[in-house]
Chain A
């Protein structure tokens, strides 16, 4: 949906249609993806409605949704991770590159500066050396010239040979002095005008010093051409081949002649500067080569003028080897590396740093070599590069970097020294790697280190990201899960709500047909043309129907319990009776199962407690039905004992052995008690302990706690074998907890399960509830003859406790034997000891019984002891009949005991019959009946008429379980009034217990007649059950004298109810709405009623007046009870009730108000009770229920009035 709106907004963007469409499509796609991405749960939010409709598809949808959701979240996480990693990679790469770059740049820069200085230095030093060499040569030459001039001037114009020789000798000495002082000189030559040559020469190879001179013989001393300038030519030296040249070795230090002068060929002569070299009389410079030297020589020539400075007398030449410059260069290069060379301006090599030759040997002797022809490759290449780059116009200084020569890079620096006569170029070639090599290498290493470091960081970062995003993705997953869960929960809650709503709505509809079924059954039961079997069946159906109705209610209640809305009632009820009814009900089921049901309540149990009887019954019904389900043989015992909360500690010490596994619960209980004591100090709280003990399959100890969870069963297979939902125990625990108790499975000796629970119930303030009849004084002897050992044991124990001698018999033989022993005591007195099969204890018991004076024997016989399969039972009965004078027989019947047996029993005069199971209350009933009978017998005997025993004929009430029917609440409210007069000790009160029934008319000749008479009687008992009051007249007039105000707007209902009530003898006043009801109450007189009812009221007036006159003491209220419809115009029942209750404030009045409503929900009931109504009846009105309710609410007051009257 959002995508649509978005695309619509896009459509508004003005653009060329094609482009816009394309763009739109693209954007839309992207947006769709985004929305999918961003709101993955949106689709889910919309789906529930569909899901509800298409339940079948839900699963699949959900599954698909979940998987796609997962996938998308995985993608998102993956992409995010990738993005973060890429960003990290970029960052680290950038950092690395920048670091490397700047480091390199700065290092290079500084190195370059340094390198430049170095190169400059390297360049300068050979040049300076050269310079100094040239200077030295020049100075020496000048000095030689000056000295020569001086000598020549002194011997001006030598004329004679001696003078000339002398002069030459002087010249030789002077020159020697100079030559010896200047060690660096190679040679000094003096060429005289006349061709005479004097020269000193050092041979570096042999390190010897020579004096070279020409023969004087050939030279004229004077006049022969010395003045002839034209005669001055070089020819004179070389050309004068005729001259003989001598070479004299000298001592290099002293100048002494060593050996004889040797004649040498002129070719071997060193360079002797001639006049040609100084054509202009100025000094001249040459670079020459010599035969003896492998390096070029620097020679300077200077003319020597005569005194008049007009003519050149001689030429002085000084030669210096450039060897030392080369040496220096080599030294420098050794240190710094690279190559240095010097060239002349023309490019001839003067000196190099290498050892390579500087001269090339030609046929004409050694010649100077050009740099570009050098044998040294580097020099040649450098020179070539220079040549190529700069050509002839070479600048004074050249600094070139990164010159590629061959495979290597070089620095080339050249410097041009512009000497006037001898310009020199100096070139330095240094391989780049000599300076930068290390740097480059370092830079490379740094780069590698940086890269590896950054790769490492990158990987670590990736790992970190993975770890971090892992958490995030986990969280995302968890959140997605959470959202799903929440969604599921919401859905579940919604469906649960639907369920409870459904249940609430259905309750009425469900209960209505059930009520119809029950009603029809009631009709059927009251029908007189039923056979006994049919009657029994129908009764059973009636029971089952009520149970079903109850189940329905329970199901409805479950939702309440689950949602915690259950509110427990607080009403008084007879705990014992509820449990007895329960046991009776289940015993029917149990006998079919061959399981014994035993109720074992201790005597200290309070008869009346306050609480929710329905829930209590529900608890035990669930527990017992559960036990029955799993018990195939044996027994189920419901034990109950009580413990006053105030005497808890004493109890604890007393019952420590019994409650050992119960210790934690006990402490809890103590805490709870403390809490309770604080909260309600004067409330008479009781802790009631119960145990449900069965001999079933038992529960595994590991499941002891979990069986109380909902839908939990101890063994999953139980659902198959036994059915059930596993909800029962859950409800039980909820209810028990709600009643302030706890339930647990307890360790048990032997097979089966033992559930123990305690409840905290308050008891009414009325004391003396536990009045137990004192039977001991009557001298009763009870013979229990029952099959079930457990029940027998428990009963006998109880009887003995109450001082009643008890003998037990388990089968027929034992029974007869004991009977004989007991009753034929007189005749068989001495045979006691011969009874071998009587146990010692029994014998002791019997001997005890003997001591009782005038004993009353009560023989309780289980009908099962008789052999009913054949006709033997009749014989057995006859046998027993013999003792009927001495003892009273009470029969325990099964629910399915056939009518013939009953009839036979009745015929024989056995009138005390109770249904199994036998429990305390029934036992009491039997005993009371016996005592009463005995008294009467005594009385009758006095009167001499003992035949009329029939009043004590007893039978079983078939509708005893009505207490558990659907409308528990209204009945319990009724029951609290029932139970008050029910006290076992009040034997002569007109109250009848339900267990036994007077069947006076059992003249069994015509069974149908007895049935017809029985039915109204039963009807009567039912009413008595409800009311607890024996009525003298017919039940139709059960409401005699009760004045009822009926507020009902529906004319039909009003009429029906009126008639119904009037039929039963009540005086009815009907009004149409709540307002009228309130008004008619406020008027003291009935006369001021609604005019529509006038005709009726006039009738009633008379009736009422009579009642009034009877009981003028009765309260001022004109009515005993109000039946109030809830929904009425003007003022509804709730409002009216509130108004009435308001009006009653301050007075002692409390008029009972019974609600009439078509709503069947218990919430409506709660509402009714909340506003102050006393009871609650649902429409359509059930007559019996209405009667019982009305009676329960009105009778006490009538009693009071009758008492006071």
Chain B
């Protein structure tokens, strides 16, 4: 009985993670991250991801504060924030966030405040979205583990 639940959960997990990939939330880098997780570092992925989200909220906060003032926006500061965000998002494999970051960066380069604000909102939305999705994913993982199963390796082809 337990095995069937585990199998179901595992399939669910697999489907979920594939859907995340297919919807473009995640990319290869996330699989890389997952590969790095092993017995020595059991919570590596969630640790990194939470680091990433902390970083995200912090950066978005700073950037929104920078962009608040309608004039004399310090685009350099915003740019460095975006750059950082882009680096971390690409490292985590948060593909959508990264893509938004790219356009965000363009906006910064041309000093388009409106565009920046739009991108900022988008980034905010995307990362929160990803956060909930990953939260679900980790919950699923926890369930599998609690059920005594193992996390299946999911390869994205």
Residue numbers of A with Cβ under 8 A of B are 505, 508-509, 516, 519-520, 523-524, 527, 1049-1053, 1055-1057, 1059-1060, 1063, 1125, 1127, 1129, 1158, 1179-1181, 1183
Please determine whether A1053 and B91 come into contact, CB atoms closer than 8 angstroms. yes
Please determine whether B83 and A1056 come into contact, CB atoms closer than 8 angstroms. no
Provide the B36-54 mask, 1 if CB < 8 A to any CB of A, else 0.
1010010010011001101
Docked pose: A527 CA to B92 CA in angstroms: 22
Closest to B106 in A: A505
Docked pose: A509 CA to B92 CA in angstroms: 18
Docked pose: A1057 CA to B83 CA in angstroms: 17
Please determine whether B28 and A1052 come into contact, CB atoms closer than 8 angstroms. no
Q: Does B61 contact A (CB under 8 A)?
A: no
Closest to B93 in A: A1180
Please determine whether B88 and A1051 come into contact, CB atoms closer than 8 angstroms. yes
Contact A1051 to B87, CB < 8 A, known contacts A527-B155, A1059-B44, A1180-B29: no
Docked pose: A1129 CA to B54 CA in angstroms: 18
Please determine whether A1056 and B92 come into contact, CB atoms closer than 8 angstroms. yes
B1 to chain A, nearest CB (A): 30
Q: How large is the interface on B (under 10, 10 to 19, 20 to 34, 35 or more residues)?
A: 20 to 34
A255 to chain B, nearest CB (A): 150
Q: Does B102 contact A (CB under 8 A)?
A: yes
Contacts of A1125 in B (CB 8 A): 87
Contacts of A1063 in B (CB 8 A): 36, 38
Secondary structure at the B interface, as helix, strand, loop or mixed, is helix
Q: Does B96 contact A (CB under 8 A)?
A: no
A17 to chain B, nearest CB (A): 47
Closest to A1178 in B: B90
Docked pose: A244 CA to B51 CA in angstroms: 187
Contacts of B48 in A (CB 8 A): 1052, 1055-1056, 1059
Q: Does B33 contact A (CB under 8 A)?
A: yes
Please determine whether B91 and A1056 come into contact, CB atoms closer than 8 angstroms. yes
User: Which residues of B, 53-80, contact A by the 8 Å Cβ criterion?
Assistant: 54-55, 80
Contact A1127 to B84, CB < 8 A, known contacts A523-B31, A1056-B48: yes
Per a CB cutoff under 8 Å, which of B31, B38, B83 touches A1158? B83
Contact A1181 to B28, CB < 8 A, known contacts A520-B156, A1059-B36: no
Please determine whether B155 and A1050 come into contact, CB atoms closer than 8 angstroms. no
Q: List 5 A-B contacts (CB under 8 A).
A: A520-B28, A1051-B51, A1052-B88, A1052-B89, A1052-B92
B96 to chain A, nearest CB (A): 13
Contacts of B47 in A (CB 8 A): 1055
A552 to chain B, nearest CB (A): 17
Contact A524 to B157, CB < 8 A, known contacts A1127-B84, A1179-B90: yes
Closest to A523 in B: B155
Q: How many A-B residue pairs have CB under 8 A?
A: 78
A448 to chain B, nearest CB (A): 82
A245 to chain B, nearest CB (A): 152
Please determine whether A1050 and B33 come into contact, CB atoms closer than 8 angstroms. no
Contacts of B51 in A (CB 8 A): 1051-1052, 1055
B38 to chain A, nearest CB (A): 8
Q: Does B32 contact A (CB under 8 A)?
A: yes
Beyond A524-B157, A1158-B87, 13 additional contacts (C-beta under 8 Å) are A516-B27, A519-B28, A523-B28, A527-B155, A1052-B51, A1053-B87, A1053-B88, A1055-B44, A1055-B47, A1055-B48, A1055-B51, A1179-B90, A1180-B32
Please determine whether A516 and B28 come into contact, CB atoms closer than 8 angstroms. yes
Contacts of B89 in A (CB 8 A): 1052
Closest to A1063 in B: B36
Please determine whether B102 and A1181 come into contact, CB atoms closer than 8 angstroms. no
Closest to A1129 in B: B80
Closest to B44 in A: A1059
Contacts of A509 in B (CB 8 A): 102
Contacts of A523 in B (CB 8 A): 28, 31, 155-157
Closest to B89 in A: A1052
User: Which residues of B, 18-34, contact A by the 8 Å Cβ criterion?
Assistant: 27-29, 31-33
Per a CB cutoff under 8 Å, which of B32, B93, B102 touches A508? B102
Contact A1158 to B86, CB < 8 A, known contacts A1055-B48, A1055-B51: yes
Contacts of B32 in A (CB 8 A): 1060, 1180, 1183
Docked pose: A412 CA to B33 CA in angstroms: 138
Docked pose: A1049 CA to B91 CA in angstroms: 13
Please determine whether B55 and A1051 come into contact, CB atoms closer than 8 angstroms. yes
Contacts of B92 in A (CB 8 A): 1052, 1056
Residue among A524, A1059, A1129 with max Cβ neighbours from chain B (10 Å): A1059
Docked pose: A516 CA to B44 CA in angstroms: 23
Docked pose: A1183 CA to B157 CA in angstroms: 19
Contacts of B91 in A (CB 8 A): 1050, 1052-1053, 1056-1057, 1179-1181
Closest to A1158 in B: B87
B60 to chain A, nearest CB (A): 14
Contacts of B38 in A (CB 8 A): 1063
B24 to chain A, nearest CB (A): 11
Docked pose: A497 CA to B90 CA in angstroms: 30
Contacts of B88 in A (CB 8 A): 1050-1053
A1072 to chain B, nearest CB (A): 12
User: Which residues of B, 91-136, contact A by the 8 Å Cβ criterion?
Assistant: 91-93, 102, 106
Can you list the 9 inter-chain pairs with the closest CB atoms, starting with the nearest? A1052-B88, A1052-B52, A1050-B88, A1053-B91, A1051-B51, A1180-B90, A1180-B29, A1059-B36, A1056-B91
Docked pose: A1125 CA to B91 CA in angstroms: 13
A821 to chain B, nearest CB (A): 54
Please determine whether B156 and A1056 come into contact, CB atoms closer than 8 angstroms. no
Contacts of B52 in A (CB 8 A): 1051-1052
Please determine whether B157 and A520 come into contact, CB atoms closer than 8 angstroms. yes
Docked pose: A1158 CA to B52 CA in angstroms: 17
Please determine whether B83 and A1127 come into contact, CB atoms closer than 8 angstroms. yes
A1134 to chain B, nearest CB (A): 14
Contacts of B36 in A (CB 8 A): 1056, 1059-1060, 1063
B25 to chain A, nearest CB (A): 14
Docked pose: A523 CA to B32 CA in angstroms: 10
Closest to A1053 in B: B91
B157 to chain A, nearest CB (A): 6
Contact A1158 to B41, CB < 8 A, known contacts A519-B28, A527-B155, A1052-B51: no
Docked pose: A364 CA to B93 CA in angstroms: 161
Docked pose: A1049 CA to B86 CA in angstroms: 12
B156 to chain A, nearest CB (A): 7
Per a CB cutoff under 8 Å, which of A1056, A1127, A1129 touches B33? A1056
B98 to chain A, nearest CB (A): 9
A681 to chain B, nearest CB (A): 47
Closest to A1157 in B: B87
Contacts of A508 in B (CB 8 A): 102
Docked pose: A508 CA to B89 CA in angstroms: 16
B107 to chain A, nearest CB (A): 13
Closest to A1048 in B: B87
Docked pose: A978 CA to B55 CA in angstroms: 40
Residue among A1056, A1057, A1060, A1063 with max Cβ neighbours from chain B (10 Å): A1056
Docked pose: A1055 CA to B38 CA in angstroms: 15
Contacts of A1060 in B (CB 8 A): 32, 36
Closest to B33 in A: A1056
Contacts of A516 in B (CB 8 A): 27-28
A1196 to chain B, nearest CB (A): 28
Contacts of A1127 in B (CB 8 A): 80, 83-84, 87
Contacts of A1052 in B (CB 8 A): 48, 51-52, 55, 87-89, 91-92
Contacts of B84 in A (CB 8 A): 1049-1050, 1127
Docked pose: A1057 CA to B27 CA in angstroms: 17
Contacts of A1053 in B (CB 8 A): 87-88, 91
Docked pose: A1180 CA to B102 CA in angstroms: 14
B142 to chain A, nearest CB (A): 21
Closest to B28 in A: A519
Closest to B92 in A: A1052
Residue among B54, B84, B92 with max Cβ neighbours from chain A (10 Å): B84
Residue among B33, B52, B88, B92 with max Cβ neighbours from chain A (10 Å): B88
